[in-house]
Amino acid sequence: MIGDEGGGDSPPVIKARKRASVPEENGEGSNEDDLYLPYLKPNYKRLYPENSLNVEFKVFIESKDNKEKLGNKSPIYLNHIFAAEVKGVVAIRRINANKITAIFKQYNTANNFLNNTKFMEKYNMKAYIPAAQIERTGIIRYVPQNISNKELYSKLSSSFDIVAVRRFTKKVGQNRVPLQTVSITFLSNTLPDSVQYDLFSYRVFDYVPPLQQCYRCFKFNHSAKVCNGKQRCSCCSGEHSYKDCDKPTELCCINCGGAHLAISKMCPIKMRKIQEKKTKITYASVTDSKRDEFPPLIQKPISKQPQDTTINNNSKNLASTGSPSKIVDLKNLLMTNNDLTMTIVRTLIAIANKADDSPVTTKSIKDLLFKNLP
């Protein structure tokens, strides 16, 4: 597994840890490569946990027949079959030509629908929960290379259930060499602060997946499977495959026009996008380990009196110091700075009135907050 490593993330206090258990598997090979195969929780099926933080419980639905476009079905037909035969569904939305999503307000009704094999067989459908709804992946570093993924799964314990363990590797010549970085997927919307390996505690960092580049049009953030663009050459940027290129030495990047391959890491546009992914952090990270990077709030002078100036200065330092003794100063700031208070109110109203079905994330909340600043 190859990818860019993310920055640190420090969510709130960890709950009582729960140790994962692995059943004995007969006939497991002793090949050294088996040590680094991704290990998944046995018999794991993606269902909403009881303690899920989701506001809406989404289930994606597709037809088992690849030629049948479920998203293009009549809304009258879909409304009829779901209203009549599915309990707890409150809305149906079209995702694309192939896919729709059913919205539930309770985790158990969403899970019951996923297990409704009778309905799925009757209408030739398949249903699943998108991983981003209930899973979060983090990484741990400096893990000895002689520890297999299976052993890690059996010995690691966390505040959240662990559903997958994968070790990073890199290609050296014709071989894959294991690294000391391991990714862990948790059944949770947030990451724990740490995981335990016996008595040793590993800090958990946010995982930033590698930048996705299409090998059809060579643009970013989508794959060739869903690409609607024209076939382009990675060598000369012409409208043909690199296999048919008649001037492979005349390099021209389709993205920046530079004299290099479109897939080259030398491309300044690709370098910038990679850096953007690496520096993209959650609001939780900003308010904890990276407070110094949090932009200062615009403030109006409160008063020229000495005591008010002290409150104002202390409030400015709150973001960098994080001292509990400054909380009272922040409260005073909110009470006296009407612009700041109304900014927070407008942000909360915008979240409550959000019309689309995109998930509410810490990043989207932060973006809304900055957008509403005076």
Per-residue three-class SS string for 196-256 = EECCEEEECEEEECCCCECCCCCCECCCHHHCCCCCCCCCCCCCCCHHHCCCCCCCCCCCC
246 and 349 inside one domain: no
Give the pLDDT mean for 19-44: 61
Which residue range forms the structural domain that includes residue 310? 283-371
pLDDT digits (tens, 9 = 90+) for 64-106: 998 899 999 999 999 999 999 999 999 999 999 999 999 999 9
178 and 316 inside one domain: no
Contact assessment for residue 220 and residue 270, using Cβ atoms and an 8 Å cutoff: yes
227 and 106 inside one domain: no
Residue 51 lies in a domain: no
304 phi/psi in degrees, rounded to 5: -90, 0
42 and 94 inside one domain: no
95 and 197 inside one domain: no
18 and 80 inside one domain: no
Nearest Cα neighbor of 269 from 208, 209, 211, 216 is 211
Count other Cβ atoms within 10 Å, centred on residue 159: 20
* Confidence label for 329 from pLDDT (cuts 50, 70 and 90): low
The terminus-to-terminus CA distance of the chain in angstroms comes to: 45
- Average per-residue pLDDT in the chain? 78
pLDDT of residue 261: 92
pLDDT of residue 174: 84
pLDDT digits (tens, 9 = 90+) for 133-173: 899 999 999 999 999 999 999 999 999 999 999 999 988 88
* Confidence label for 347 from pLDDT (cuts 50, 70 and 90): confident
pLDDT of residue 339: 72
Strands 89-94 and 99-104 come out as antiparallel
How would you label 66-98 residue by residue, b for 16+ Cβ within 10 Å and e otherwise?
Answer: eeeebbeeeeeebeeebeeebebbeebeebeee
